[in-house]
Amino acid sequence: MRAVCPGSFDPITHGHLDVINRAATLFGEVIVAVGRNSAKKYLFDTDERVELARAAVADIPGVQVEVLSGLLVDFCRERDAGYVVKGLRFASDFDFELQMAHINHSLTGLETVLLPASAQWGTLSSTMVREVATLGGDVSAFVPALVAERIENKRTDHEG
Q: Which of 8, 22, 126, 130 is catalytic?
A: 126
pLDDT in 10s for each residue of the chain, 160 residues: 999 999 999 999 999 999 999 999 999 999 999 998 777 789 999 999 999 999 999 999 999 999 999 999 999 999 999 999 999 998 989 999 999 999 999 999 999 999 999 999 999 999 999 999 989 999 999 999 999 999 999 877 766 5
Examine the residue annotation and report whether 79 is marked as an active-site residue of this protein.
Answer: no
Examine the residue annotation and report whether 40 is marked as an active-site residue of this protein.
Answer: yes
Q: pLDDT tens digits for 42-77?
A: 999 999 999 999 999 999 999 999 999 999 999 999
CA-based R_g, the chain, Å: 15
Q: What is the DSSP letter of 118?
A: P
CA distances in angstroms from 65 to 7, 27, 49, listed in the order given: 11, 15, 10
CATH number of this structure's domain 2-159, picked from the four choices 3.30.420.10, 2.40.40.20, 3.40.50.620, 3.30.540.10: 3.40.50.620
Contacts 24+ apart (CB under 8 A), 70-75: 71/107, 72/4, 72/6, 72/33, 72/104, 72/110, 73/104, 73/107, 73/108, 73/110, 75/4, 75/6, 75/33
Q: Which of 14, 77, 79, 89 is catalytic?
A: 89
* Cβ within 8 Å of residue 57, ≥6 positions away: 17, 20, 32, 63, 64, 65
State the first-to-last Cα distance of the chain, in angstroms, to the nearest integer.
48
Q: Which of 8, 16, 86, 150 is catalytic?
A: 16
Residue boundaries of the structural domains of the chain: 2-159
Grouping H, G, I as helix, E, B as strand and the rest as coil, residue 63 is: strand
Q: What is the DSSP letter of 137?
A: -
Examine the residue annotation and report whether 16 is marked as an active-site residue of this protein.
Answer: yes
Specify the pLDDT at position 40: 77
